[in-house]
Amino acid sequence: MKVLRRRRRRLVVLTGVAALLLAASGGMPAVADAQHADPLQRQVDAIHDTGVVGVSAEVTAPGTRTRAVARAGVAERGTGRPMPQGGRFRIGSATKTFTATVVLQLVGEGRMSLEDTVERWLPGVVAGSGLDGSRITVRQLLRHTSGIPEVLPEIAALNSAGGYRAERFRTYAPEELAGLAMARSEDAPAEAAWSYSNTNYILAAMIIREVTGRSWDREVEDRIIRPLGLSGTSTPGTSPFIPGPHARAYSAFGTGAGTGIDVTALNTSMAIGSGAVISTTHDLSRFYGALLGGRLLEPAELAEMTATVAAPGMGVSYGLGLGEIPLTCGGTYYGHPGELLGYRTWAGITRDGSRTAVVYATSEGGPDTQQAMRTLVDQELCGAAPLREGRAG
């Protein structure tokens, strides 16, 4: 945290971002009021046209007062209530960037190493057919090259409407989640092959607790949320509710049956470290801007985070809790997509930290939804339109 304290006095407050990204009124800049004539609004409308209930997006230039916002659809199906300004939502796997940041801060403080084995911090937790925690490092967890299987197929609330209704308020202990994943060890991919697994970040959250003696939630709050003043961001623990203004979430659980059922209430203890953070488009922009701007990590640790390997099948490269994604205008950007039962997000930031784009949608939408979200981030980070000065919301 010394880098944050050292630079606080000489940094301009950010007014504004992963993934693999807004309507303006009131205290927000009126840069998207011309709806269909505005490029960002057209892109938001295109996402809405893929079948989602609501969409909200924000594009900012960190360190300045310039931003653009747009929204489409409604906050609740069957009503005319617009998507909320500054609405909160579950950011899903964009949470992984928060977790990786905390781990790398601990590395920078000399309290742990990326080369530490899982066995050192969590003895006996990673074991099974072909799995050995003494051969898996913290770096491999954060990079998804551990070979540890995915636990989410074992979470009933995430896999069917019946399972959701029965278990949406169930609390999982991290040790229980690890055990469920180890029981699937026969399905583990080859060691060191890149394979996305939320279990990696559940284990990372457990390691944070072992290193610090405090919970993952507390460390994220004290190291990132509070220092950056992310007033719309929280780690809900076992609470199934989203505090503050928010749009409802809907899921059809992959059945393609319309927008599905309301799944807004959810105890996200099954996603500790991997997908539990609640935030806003504005806060995510500020977070990624601070991260790439050097406010959260020292140069050596930021270099570790942004050193990537190929992520086959995703069309990106992956670092430590951060993806590197090609831009159609040339070059790449950093970011992370996220999805958790009815909320989908895509956040990205240019390599030089000069522009962020964050979009989220409620409900799963059609097969083109994710591509439309990725297109919005790509075009906005390529500088599709100039941003205007406006007061932060």
Which residues are catalytically annotated? 93
From the list 69, 170, 173, the residue with the least C-alpha distance to 388 is: 69
Q: How far apart are CA 45 and CA 56, in angstroms?
A: 10
Q: Is the separation of the CB atoms in 356 and 94 below 8 Å?
A: no
Q: 374 to each of 68, 146, 325, 385, how far by Cα in Å? A: 17, 27, 10, 17
The residue with tokens 């003895």 is 123
Q: 356 to each of 57, 87, 192, 348, 370, how far by Cα in Å? A: 11, 18, 32, 6, 18
Q: How far apart are CA 209 and CA 215, in angstroms?
A: 5
Q: First-to-last CA distance in the chain?
A: 26
292 by DSSP, 3-state: which? helix
Two structure tokens written together for 167: 């278990």
Classify residue 255 as exposed, middle or buried by CB count within 10 Å of its CB (0-12, 13-18, 19+).
Answer: exposed
356 by DSSP, 3-state: which? strand
| Residue type present at position 235 | T
Q: Is the separation of the CB atoms in 128 and 317 below 8 Å?
A: no
> Distance between alpha carbon 244 and the CA centroid of its chain, in Å?
19
Two structure tokens written together for 235: 């780690």
Burial 161-172 (b: 16+ CB within 10 A, else e): beebeebbebeb
Two structure tokens written together for 95: 């949470």
The residue with tokens 């303006």 is 24
